[in-house]
C-alpha cells in the first residue's frame, strides 16, 4: 500500500512539478552529457550568483566548511583564480596544488593523488589535466565531486558555460543565433564544449579554421564548416576567437603566425564586413596580433573582460550544484 | 503534489487576504509614525508579491512610494543538504542602501522561524539597518527559534502534520489561504 502511494507521489511529482529541475550529478565533467534543462539550470543559477559579486560583502555561506582543491596539471591564470574566487565567495576553503611542485613529480599516479586528497576530507576537486578523459577517470574513482577545468582536447565545460552566459546576457537568447568559432578547432577543448552547449540550446554553429586544423567529420557534431573567415562572419551574431596554441604545436605544417593573422585574424577591417554589433569573444589569454588585433581586443565589440567576470558566477553555480548533489547522495546513503 | 494532500479548510479568501494586507499596512504606518526611512523587503517567492501589495496599500494611505526589495534566502538556509527537491537559487534585488533604514521583512507564512533567521543573516551582509520588523500573512505557531512577527494577518494554530498554503494570483491561479493535511508516509 505504501509502495503504491510512493509510486503515485512520484508520478504526480513528475506530472505537476516538471518545472522543478533537479541537479543530481556529483561531478561536472563536460557539456556533452548534459540535457538542455540541466544547461538552463546552471545558467539561471549563475544569474542569481552574479548578484553576489555586486554586493559590498561578496560572500554567501552556501559552501561554508567545505574544502575545494584546485588540482592543476597545466598552467592557468584565469581558470584557476576564477575557481578560487568563486569558491571563496561561497565561503569554502581553497587549496591550490600546482603539480609542478607536488609529488606528481615523484611519479604519483592521478588516482592516488585524487584518493589522497579525498582522504584529506576535501569535498570538491577542480582539475585541469593534459589528458583527455582524465576528469572522468578521476570522478569514477572518487566519492567526492570532480569539476573539469579542462582535460586535454576534450572539454572545458565552465569556459563554454560562461561564454554562453555572456552571449545570452548580451543578446537575450541562444536559440537561432549564428555563432562562429575560429581557431585551432582540432585541439580545442573550448571549441568542443561550446559546440555541445550551443547546439543543445539551439544555436547555429560554424567552425572556421585552416583546413589542417578542422577535425575530420566534425559536421557530425551538428556544425557547419568554413575555411573562409570573411564568409563565415557575414551573418554571424558572435565570433568566439580561440587562442592559437603554439605550445602544443611541434609540427612545421602549422601555418605561420603572420600568415594566420592575415588569413584568419580578427581585425577591425574584417569586422567592418560583419554585423555592426557582432559580439567578439575570446577565452584568453590573447595572442595580440595573431588571432586578434589589439584594436578588436580592446574595441567596442569585445566582451572579453565581461566573460571573465561572468566566469565567477558560472563557477559559483557549478560548485554549488555539484556540492548540493553530493550532499544529498551522502544523506540518502546514511538514511 | 497538492492533489495527494487533503485540503482541510480555507482560511482566507480573496477579500480576506486583501483586508489583512490593508490592516497590516495601516499598522505599519501607525507603529512607525509615518513611512520615513521605511522600506519593505519581501522574501522570495510569495513574500515579494505580498510586499508589493503592501507597498501599494501604503501608497494609498500616505500618498508616497515605499522602497521595495526582494530577498532570496536559499543560500543562507540551515538545511540545504536536507531539503527535499532542489533548492532553487533566485536573485536577490535590493537596489537601495539599507543602512539606517527601518526594514520590514515580509513573508507569507511564519512557522519555525528558520527562514527569518536566514533572512536576518543575509541582510547583515547588505548593511546595518536602523531596525528590522517582520510582517507575515499567516503565523502558524511551532517556533523553533526565538523569532516573532510584529504584524500578522492571521494567527492559525496548526498541527505538525498540517501545512498552510498561501496562494497568490501573481503566480497561482487565485488568492486564498488553505490548511492542508499532509500524507503521513514516513
Give yes or no for A333 touching B (CB within 8 A): no
Angle between helices A157-171 and A189-200 (to 10 degrees): 50
A217-237 pLDDT per residue, tens: 999 999 999 999 999 999 999
Rg (CA), chain A: 21
CA B179-B182-B186 angle, 5° bins:
160
Chain A residues with CB inside 8 Å of B72's CB? 48
Q: Which of A8, A48, A62 sits opposite B90 (nearest CB)?
A: A48
pLDDT for residue A244: 86
Asked if the model's pLDDT at residue A302 lies above 80, the reply is yes
Which residues on adjacent β-strands are paired with residue A146? A125
- Enumerate the residues of chain B whose CB falls inside 8 A of the CB of residue A324: 80-81, 86-87
**For residue A29, is pLDDT > 90?**
yes
Residue pLDDT, tens place only, A54-78: 888 899 999 999 999 999 999 888 8
Residue A201 predicted with pLDDT over 60: yes
- Written as one string, the DSSP assignment of A29-43 is --STT--HHHHHHHH
Please report the residues numbered 264 through 323 in chain A whose beta carbons come closer than 8 angstroms to any beta carbon of chain B: 317, 320
Query: What is the residue-averaged pLDDT of chain B?
Result: 91
Dmax over Cα atoms in chain B, in whole Å? 52
pLDDT number for residue A15: 45
Residue-range domains of chain B with CATH:
16-159 (3.40.50.2020)
Of A49, A59, A320, the CB nearest to B125: A59
Instruction: Give residue A253's pLDDT.
Output: 41
CATH architecture of A158-308: 3-Layer(aba) Sandwich (3.40)
Query: In whole angstroms, what is the distance from residue A318 CA to residue A324 CA?
Result: 10
CA A245 to chain centre: 18
| Cell of residue A204, nine digits | 547555429
C-alpha cell at A132: 583527455
How is domain A11-42+54-156+311-323 classified at the architecture level of CATH? 3-Layer(aba) Sandwich (3.40)
Q: Assess whether pLDDT exceeds 90 at residue B178.
A: yes
User: Are the C-beta atoms of B41 and B71 separated by less than 8 Å?
Assistant: yes
- Measured between CB atoms, which of B82, B85, B90 is closest to A20? B85
A contact test, residue of B75, B95, B98 with most A CBs within 10 A: B75
Buried-state track B3-16, b at ≥16 Cβ within 10 A, e below 16: eeeeeeeebbeeeb
Whether pTM > 0.80 for this model: the answer is yes
Q: How confident is the model at residue A16, as a pLDDT? A: 44
Confidence bin at B1 (pLDDT 50/70/90): very low
The predicted complex's ipTM stands at: 0.76
Q: Mean pLDDT over residues B136-155, rounded?
A: 96
Q: Hey, where are the domains in chain A?
A: 11-42+54-156+311-323, 158-308
Q: Judge whether A156 counts as a catalytic residue.
A: yes
- Give the torsion sign (CA, A191, A192, A197, A201): positive
Q: What percent of chain A has pLDDT over 90?
A: 77
| B43 Cα to chain A: minimum distance (Å) | 15
Active-site residue (options: A45, A79, A99, A158)? A79
Q: In the annotation, is A129 catalytic? A: no
Residue A282: active-site member = no
- Across all residues in chain A, what is the average pLDDT? 90
Banded model confidence at residue A27, pLDDT cuts 50, 70, 90: very high
Q: Do A61 and B121 touch (CB under 8 A)?
A: yes
Encode pLDDT of A85-144 as tens digits.
Answer: 999 999 999 999 988 888 888 999 999 999 999 999 999 999 999 999 999 999 999 999
- Residue, of B44 and A192, whose pLDDT is higher: A192
Closest Cα in chain B, distance from residue A327 (Å)? 6
A18 touches chain B (CB under 8 A): no
User: Does A62 lie at the interface with B, CB-CB under 8 angstroms?
Assistant: yes
Residue bearing cell 532553487: B88
Are A168 and A43 a contacting pair, CB within 8 Å? yes
Q: What is the pLDDT of residues B76-117, one digit of tens each?
A: 888 776 665 667 888 899 999 999 999 999 999 999 999 999
What is residue B77's three-state secondary structure? coil
pLDDT exceeds cutoff 70 at A318? yes
CB within 8 Å: A57 and B126: yes
Q: Which of A9, A45, A331 sits opposite B89 (nearest CB)?
A: A45
CA–CA separation, A125 vs A134, rounded Å?
Answer: 12
Residue of B nearest to A21 (CA): B86
Provide φ and ψ at A308, rounded to 5°: -60, -45
Rounded distance between C-alpha atoms, residue B115 and residue B107, angstroms: 9
CA distance A328 to chain B (A): 6
Instruction: Show Cβ contacts of residue B124 under 8 Å, excluding neighbours closer than 6 positions.
Output: none
Query: What are A249-298's pLDDT values in tens digits?
Result: 555 545 578 888 899 999 999 999 999 999 999 998 998 988 999 999 99
Query: How many whole angstroms separate alpha carbon B69 and alpha carbon B46?
Result: 13
Q: Does residue A8 belong to the interface with chain B, where contact is any CB pair within 8 Å?
A: yes
Whether A158-308 and A11-42+54-156+311-323 are alike in CATH topology: the answer is yes
Interface residues from chain B to A (CB-CB < 8 Å): 1-4, 72, 75-76, 80-82, 85-93, 121-122, 125-127, 183, 185
pLDDT higher than 70, residue B36: yes
Is 80 exceeded by the pLDDT of residue A9?
no
Per-residue b or e along A264-296, where b marks 16 or more CB atoms closer than 10 Å to that residue's CB: bbbeeebbeebbeebbbbbbbebbeebbbbeeb
Amino acid at each position: 500500500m505504501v509502495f503504491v502511494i510512493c509510486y503515485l507521489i512520484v508520478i504526480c511529482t513528475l506530472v505537476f512539478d516538471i518545472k522543478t529541475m533537479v541537479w543530481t550529478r556529483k561531478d561536472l565533467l563536460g557539456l556533452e552529457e548534459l540535457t538542455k534543462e540541466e544547461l538552463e539550470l546552471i545558467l539561471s543559477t549563475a544569474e542569481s550568483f552574479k548578484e553576489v559579486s555586486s554586493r559590498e560583502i561578496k560572500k554567501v555561506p552556501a559552501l561554508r566548511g567545505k574544502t575545494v582543491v584546485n588540482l592543476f596539471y597545466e598552467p592557468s591564470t584565469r581558470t584557476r583564480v576564477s575557481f578560487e574566487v568563486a569558491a571563496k565567495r561561497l565561503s569554502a576553503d581553497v587549496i591550490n596544488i600546482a603539480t609542478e611542485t607536488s609529488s606528481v613529480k615523484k611519479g604519483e599516479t592521478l588516482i592516488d593523488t585524487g584518493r589522497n586528497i579525498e582522504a584529506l576530507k576535501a569535498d570538491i576537486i577542480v582539475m585541469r589535466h593534459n589528458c583527455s578523459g582524465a576528469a572522468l577517470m578521476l570522478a569514477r574513482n572518487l566519492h567526492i565531486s570532480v569539476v573539469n577545468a579542462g582535460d586535454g582536447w576534450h572539454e572545458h565545460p565552465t569556459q563554454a558555460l560562461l561564454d554562453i552566459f555572456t552571449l545570452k546576457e548580451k543578446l537575450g537568447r541562444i536559440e537561432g543565433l549564428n555563432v562562429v568559432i575560429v581557431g585551432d578547432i582540432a585541439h580545442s577543448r573550448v571549441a568542443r564544449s561550446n559546440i555541445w552547449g550551443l547546439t543543445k540550446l539551439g544555436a547555429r554553429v560554424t567552425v572556421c579554421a585552416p583546413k589542417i586544423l578542422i577535425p575530420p567529420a566534425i559536421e557530425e557534431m551538428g556544425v557547419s564548416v568554413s575555411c573562409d573567415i570573411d564568409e563565415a562572419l557575414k551573418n554571424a551574431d558572435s565570433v568566439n576567437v580561440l587562442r592559437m596554441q603554439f605550445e602544443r604545436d611541434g609540427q612545421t605544417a602549422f601555418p605561420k603566425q603572420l600568415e594566420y593573422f592575415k588569413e584568419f585574424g580578427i581585425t577591425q577591417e574584417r569586422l567592418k564586413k560583419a554585423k555592426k554589433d557582432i559580439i567578439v569573444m575570446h577565452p584568453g589569454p590573447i595572442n595580440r596580433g595573431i588571432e586578434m588585433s589589439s584594436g578588436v581586443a580592446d574595441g567596442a565589440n569585445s566582451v572579453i573582460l565581461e566573460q571573465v567576470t561572468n566566469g565567477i558566477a558560472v563557477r559559483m553555480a557549478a560548485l554549488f550544484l555539484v556540492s548540493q548533489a553530493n550532499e544529498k547522495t551522502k544523506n540518502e546513503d546514511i538514511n | 503534489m497538492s492533489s495527494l494532500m487533503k485540503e482541510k479548510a480555507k482560511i482566507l479568501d480573496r477579500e480576506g487576504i486583501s483586508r489583512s494586507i490593508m490592516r497590516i499596512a495601516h499598522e505599519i504606518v501607525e507603529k512607525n509614525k509615518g513611512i520615513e526611512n521605511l522600506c519593505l523587503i519581501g522574501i522570495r517567492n510569495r513574500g515579494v508579491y505580498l510586499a508589493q501589495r503592501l507597498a501599494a496599500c501604503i501608497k494609498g494611505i500616505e500618498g508616497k512610494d515605499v522602497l521595495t526589495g526582494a530577498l532570496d534566502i536559499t543560500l543562507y538556509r540551515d538545511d540545504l543538504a536536507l531539503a527535499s527537491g532542489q533548492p532553487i537559487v533566485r536573485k536577490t534585488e535590493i537596489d537601495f542602501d539599507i543602512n539606517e533604514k527601518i526594514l520590514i521583512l515580509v513573508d507569507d507564512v511564519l512557522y519555525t522561524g528558520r527562514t527569518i533567521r536566514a533572512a536576518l543573516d543575509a541582510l547583515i551582509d547588505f548593511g546595518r539597518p536602523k531596525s528590522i520588523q517582520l510582517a507575515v500573512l499567516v503565523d502558524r505557531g511551532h517556533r523553533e527559534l526565538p523569532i516573532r512577527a510584529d504584524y500578522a494577518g492571521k494567527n492559525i494554530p496548526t498541527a505538525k502534520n498540517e501545512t498552510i498554503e498561501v496562494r497568490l494570483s501573481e503566480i497561482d491561479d487565485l488568492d486564498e489561504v488553505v490548511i492542508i493535511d499532509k500524507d503521513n508516509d514516513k
